[in-house]
Amino acid sequence: MNAVSIFTLILGLGLIAWLSARAKAMRLASASSEAGPAAHRRPLLHSLPGFHGWYAALWVVAPAMLFMAVWANVMPALVTDRVLHDPAAATLPLDPMSRGAILSEARNVAQGGAQVAFDPRANALVEPYRAAQRLYSLGGAIVALMLAFAGGAYAFTRVRPDFRARNKVERVVMGALLTASLIAIITTVGIVASLLWESLRFFSFVNPFDFLFGTKWSPQSAALGYGSDNAFGAVPLFWGTIFIGAIIAMVVAIPLGLMSAVYLTQYAKPRARAWLKPILEVLAGVPTVVYGYFAALTIAPNMRDFAVMLGIPNASSESALAAGLVMGVMIIPFVSSMADDSIASVPQAMRDGSLAMGATTSETIRQVLVPAALPGVVGGVLLAVSRAIGETMIVVMAAGLAANLTLNPFASVTTVTTQIVQLLTGDQEFDSPKTLAAFALGLVLFVVTLLLNIVALRVVKRYREAYE
């Protein structure tokens, strides 16, 4: 009996439970309404029949499904255990590696993944495997169905006029919603925990102080066995990240985003706004990989030619400037829409007050609207920075891999995200500092963006309160 048919069967039982509990409740309801005098007819049934139905259906489905989920995780181990007790398993080698290989080959054949095993010892185990699987899946199905029946029977006996099925169902709904939100939180906690754990392992190889303040980054030399001393100084990476994401990109994105927001909120006619705003938002929808090859194939060569023309040394075809400019363009809609929101939420009375003093529109914007909207704009910029420094695709394609500590925007620099990609693509060994360095970098990036987000949201929130 396979899982899908049991699943369907349990759902079918749930439907039957729903119908029968509802029918029983309806019978009780009509009986009680005939009893009392019509004038003070109060429903003697606490909950509507539908709630009794749902209550019963939940009792049928939920325990059985929970059991199935647990069983699916436990069963493989039980099956293997049983197979190992089979006489045919006595000939297996004791070495756990080859033993495991034979067992998994046998399992593969037994489940129909392969026709025949290469190893005759595995072939001998196929039949015991099939038998054990049949046994345990049948056992599991029987227990699941028994649970479903037991649950249904229990719920059905509780259908009484004063039973508060409605409140019970409400609690189940709350529990389901809580579970849904917990899944996201637990996943995040798990990610952070793994970052922390792997980072700690990294820091057992490399001194955290050397990592955070060292200026030489050459993980390859460490991997080739030249020792990990001083090969993991991440300062050039941090600098490259800040140079591209927080300086060059923001020099592009802040003025352009702010000015487009001012134009859209203050000058554009409603019709122009209706066209321009969605078009600007399309920029936000362009996949970053498209920006990436635009940066790498179009902007970067032009930047290099321009730098060569100016006679700037170290001009590279993978430059901080190319990556930063394109990233800035990518961030424009982000800054613009945050600034747009905060300018639009400055009360109209403020604008009127300034205009009524005989100020022009641009004086009003410069002296009243932008200062009033500034906290919101600053919050938006911080969020934009935190996005920019976590951005990966553009810098992987356009910024290069050389960990230079330079102020020259035409030179190649590398970023935290680029190096993470480099460290984790290709062959990995999870006990070498080269691979583990990726987790330490990820941890730093995570902490920085988290702090930026917290500060930004706080600033924005306080600003919102000021005008409410």
Partner 1 sequence: MTDISNPKTPNPKMSARNVNVYYGEKQAIQNVSIDVDTDNVTAFIGPSGCGKSTFLRTLNRMNDTVASARVTGEITLDGEDIYSSGMDVVQLRARVGMVFQKPNPFPKSIYDNIAYGPRIHGLASSKADLDQIVESSLRRAGLWDEVKDRLKDSGTALSGGQQQRLCIGRAIAVEPEVILMDEPCSALDPIATAKIEELIHALRGRYAIVIVTHNMQQAARVSQRTAFFHLGTLVEYGVTSEIFTNPRELRTKDYITGRYG
Binding footprint of partner 1 on the chain (CB under 8 A) = 269-270, 347, 349-360, 363, 367-368, 371-372, 466
Quote the least distance from Cβ 352 to partner 1, whole Å: 6
- Residue 285 one-letter amino acid: G
Burial of 91 (0-12, 13-18, 19+ CB in 10 A): exposed
Indicate the residue among 255 and 347 with the shorter CB distance to partner 1. 347
- 83 Cβ contact list (under 8 Å, min separation 6): 89, 103, 106, 125, 128, 129, 132
Quote the least distance from Cβ 272 to partner 1, whole Å: 12
Indicate the residue among 170 and 363 with the shorter CB distance to partner 1. 363
Alpha carbon 402 to its chain's center: 30
Indicate the residue among 137 and 354 with the shorter CB distance to partner 1. 354
Quote the least distance from Cβ 276 to partner 1, whole Å: 17
Quote the least distance from Cβ 349 to partner 1, whole Å: 4
Quote the least distance from Cβ 356 to partner 1, whole Å: 4
Alpha carbon 80 to its chain's center: 35
- 387 Cβ contact list (under 8 Å, min separation 6): 331, 334
Indicate the residue among 113 and 353 with the shorter CB distance to partner 1. 353
Tokens (6 digits) for 45 = 């049934």
Indicate the residue among 208 and 371 with the shorter CB distance to partner 1. 371
Indicate the residue among 309 and 349 with the shorter CB distance to partner 1. 349
For 366, other C-beta atoms within 10 Å of its C-beta total: 13
Quote the least distance from Cβ 355 to partner 1, whole Å: 6
Indicate the residue among 73 and 348 with the shorter CB distance to partner 1. 348
Distance CA 308, CA 315 (A): 7
Quote the least distance from Cβ 270 to partner 1, whole Å: 7
Distance CA 468, CA 463 (A): 9
Element (H, E) at 311: none
Tokens (6 digits) for 352 = 């009127």
Confirm if 88 and 128 have CB atoms less than 8 A apart. yes
